[in-house]
């Protein structure tokens, strides 16, 4: 039987999308935040159209969660596409200086234009835009140096738009994570589920954990620093081939969750999301721009 389609478009996202369309006119700079583990899958297909010719900076967050070699590959690839990404770690603050610098530069250009028109300088208005749970609010908290907005380990924490002032030079707009109303590409939907970038109510954990296992079994550099076969066997104490994921889950459940494969599936996904399986890039650049 075919797996049910994974879809997630809760009411707060639909409302936020409408509000954003109104706010975009007031914004000078868009900081487009994506997830380094699934760099292409976590970029909104409509963002370019929304942003138009406003200044935009690509922020690749969760840089600590992918191997440095994957980062280098992506960086070269993105530069070839004409992008100058800023790599950040919203949890520990890496990349915040570069992010602030980008905002300050946009502010300087804005105020030079305003001055030419006889207007008083004002703070640059920067919008954090991206999929849910990619770390937008964490980055804002890092930039302002305090817990100004809620940031938690699940999708859909920010429910409405919120301005945060940053020392007179920069005003930051935190927004709920935005997704397309329909996830057409189910491979992308699976990656979003694996990385916890969509609400957990949208899918069953078991097929998603099985999809993760199958991917993990095949990964080599630059996705991972070294193949994961030994790590999986050592961490969970089983020798079943993860390429036969339902058998792997059964064996692991036997040892760890009293035979409950649903709980084992959750556990494996949590371990991946918390970084317990090491730095893993689920997408890396291919020759074509499809990752």
Ligand X SMILES: Nc1nc2c(ncn2[C@@H]2O[C@H](COP(=O)(O)OP(=O)(O)OP(=O)(O)O)[C@@H](O)[C@H]2O)c(=O)[nH]1
Residues 65-84 that bind ligand X (CB under 6 A): 65
Residue 221 burial by CB count (10 A; 0-12/13-18/19+): exposed, middle or buried? middle
Report the first-to-last Cα separation within the chain, whole angstroms.
28
Name which position in 10, 67, 107, 135 contacts ligand X (CB under 6 A): 135
Cβ of residue 4: shortest distance to ligand X, in angstroms?
23
Query: Which residues inside 82-141 make contact with Mg ion, applying CB under 5 A?
Result: 136-137
153 binds ligand X (CB under 6 A): yes
Q: Which stretch binds ligand X (CB under 6 A): 106-114, 134-142, 220-228, 281-289?
A: 134-142
Minimum CB separation from Mg ion for residue 171, in Å?
Answer: 17
Task: Kindly state whether residue 90 participates in binding ligand X, applying the rule CB under 6 A.
Answer: yes
Tell me the closest approach of the beta carbon of residue 206 to Mg ion, in angstroms: 28
Q: 157 or 219, CB closer to Mg ion?
A: 157
Q: Does 85 engage in binding with ligand X (CB under 6 A)?
A: no
**Residue 61 contact, options Mg ion, ligand X, none, Cβ 5-8 Å cut-off depending on partner type:** ligand X
- x/- site string to ligand X, residues 156 to 195, per CB under 6 A? xxx-----------------xx------------------
**CA separation (Å) from 48 to 44, 57, 220?**
8, 11, 32
To Mg ion, the closest distance from the beta carbon of 149 in angstroms equals 6
What number of chain residues touch ligand X (CB under 6 A)?
A: 23
What mask of x and - would describe binding to ligand X in positions 209 to 238, judged by CB under 6 A?
Answer: ------------------------------
Among 137, 210, 261, 283, binds ligand X (CB under 6 A): 137
DSSP secondary structure string for all residues of the chain: -PPPPP----HHHHHHHHHHHHHGGG-SEEEEEEEGGGTTTTS-TTHHHHHTTSEEEEEEE-GGGS-HHHHHHHHHHHHHTT---EE-BTTTTBTHHHHHHHHHHHHHHHHHHHHHTTPPP--EEEEEEESTTSSHHHHHHHHHTS--S---SSTT---S-EEEEETTTEEEEE------SS---HHHHHHHHHTT-S-GGGS-HHHHHHHHHHHHHH--TTTBSS-SHHHHHHHHT--S-TTSHHHHHHHHHHHHSTT-HHHHHHHHHHHHHTTTT--B-S----SSTT-
Residues within the interface to Mg ion (CB under 5 A): 136-137, 157-158
Residues within the interface to ligand X (CB under 6 A): 61-62, 64-65, 89-91, 132-138, 151-153, 155-158, 176-177
């Amino acid at each position: 039987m075919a797996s049910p389609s994974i879809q997630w478009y809760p009411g707060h996202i639909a409302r936020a999308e409408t509000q954003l369309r109104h706010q975009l006119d007031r914004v000078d700079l868009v900081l487009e935040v994506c997830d380094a583990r699934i760099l292409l899958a976590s970029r909104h297909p409509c963002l370019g159209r929304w942003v138009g010719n406003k200044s935009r900076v690509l922020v690749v967050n969760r840089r600590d969660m992918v191997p440095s070699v994957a980062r280098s590959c992506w960086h070269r690839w993105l530069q070839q596409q004409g992008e100058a990404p800023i790599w950040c770690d919203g949890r520990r603050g890496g990349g915040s200086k570069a992010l602030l610098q980008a905002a300050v530069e946009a502010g300087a250009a804005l105020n030079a234009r305003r001055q030419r028109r006889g207007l008083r300088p004002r703070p640059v208005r920067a919008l954090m835009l991206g999929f849910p749970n990619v770390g937008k609010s964490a980055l804002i908290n890092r930039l302002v140096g305090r817990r100004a907005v809620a940031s938690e380990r699940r999708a859909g924490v920010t429910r409405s738009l919120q301005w945060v002032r940053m020392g007179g030079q920069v005003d930051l707009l935190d927004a709920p994570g935005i997704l397309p109303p329909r996830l057409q590409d189910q491979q992308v939907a699976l990656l979003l589920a694996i990385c916890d970038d969509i609400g957990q109510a949208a899918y069953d954990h078991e097929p998603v954990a099985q999809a993760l296992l199958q991917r993990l079994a095949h990964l080599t550099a630059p996705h991972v620093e070294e193949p994961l076969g030994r790590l999986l066997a050592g961490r969970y104490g089983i020798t079943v081939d993860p390429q036969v994921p339902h058998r792997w889950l059964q064996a692991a459940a036997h040892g760890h969750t009293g035979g409950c494969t649903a709980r084992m599936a959750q556990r494996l996904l949590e371990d991946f999301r918390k970084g317990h399986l090491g730095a893993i890039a689920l997408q890396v650049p291919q020759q074509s721009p499809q990752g």
